[in-house]
Structure formats: C-alpha cells, structure tokens
Amino acid sequence: MAAAADRPIKWTNVTNVVCATVLIACETIGTGAAGGWALAGLLKMGDLAVHVAVGIGSLIGLVATVAFYRSAIRAEPFR
C-alpha cells in the first residue's frame, strides 16, 4: 500500500472540510459568545464579568470547532 505522502490530495474533501469547519466555527463561537453575554446580563454581573463570560463562551465554541474539525478529517481524509 502506498504511503500517505505518495497519494494525491483529494481537493473535494479538503474543500468540504474547510467550508464545513468555517460554518461550524461561526455558529459555535458566536453562540458561545452570545450565551456568555446573555447569562452575564441575566445575572446582572459587572462589565468585567461580562467580558470573562463572553471569553469563556467563545473558548467553549472554539473547543467544539476543533473537535468537529478532527472528526471531519477522520470522515473525509485529505489523502
């Protein structure tokens, strides 16, 4: 069996994974930030706490995006 470096790149898979990851990133990071902002506003926290909550929500969205990307690479390998 040929090594992975010897096989050609499947550009259709690359395009699918990149486009889907961008879409998922926009949704999860935006939702995480909005959720942090809404939760901090609901609990009437100060400005610093709002920024921290938005940062934590965005970080959770980023972690979800990385998990999606890793799963997508397994489902549609680039080579």
Which residue has 């921290």 as its token pair?
A: 52
Angle between helices 11-42 and 47-75 (to 10 degrees): 160
**Nearest-angstrom CA–CA distance, 32 and 24:** 12
pLDDT in the model for residue 28:
96
For residues 9-13, give the mean pLDDT. Answer: 91
pLDDT digits (tens, 9 = 90+) for 21-78: 999 999 999 999 999 999 999 999 999 999 999 999 999 999 999 999 999 999 999 8
pLDDT in the model for residue 65:
97
DSSP label at residue 6: T
pLDDT at 1 over 60: no
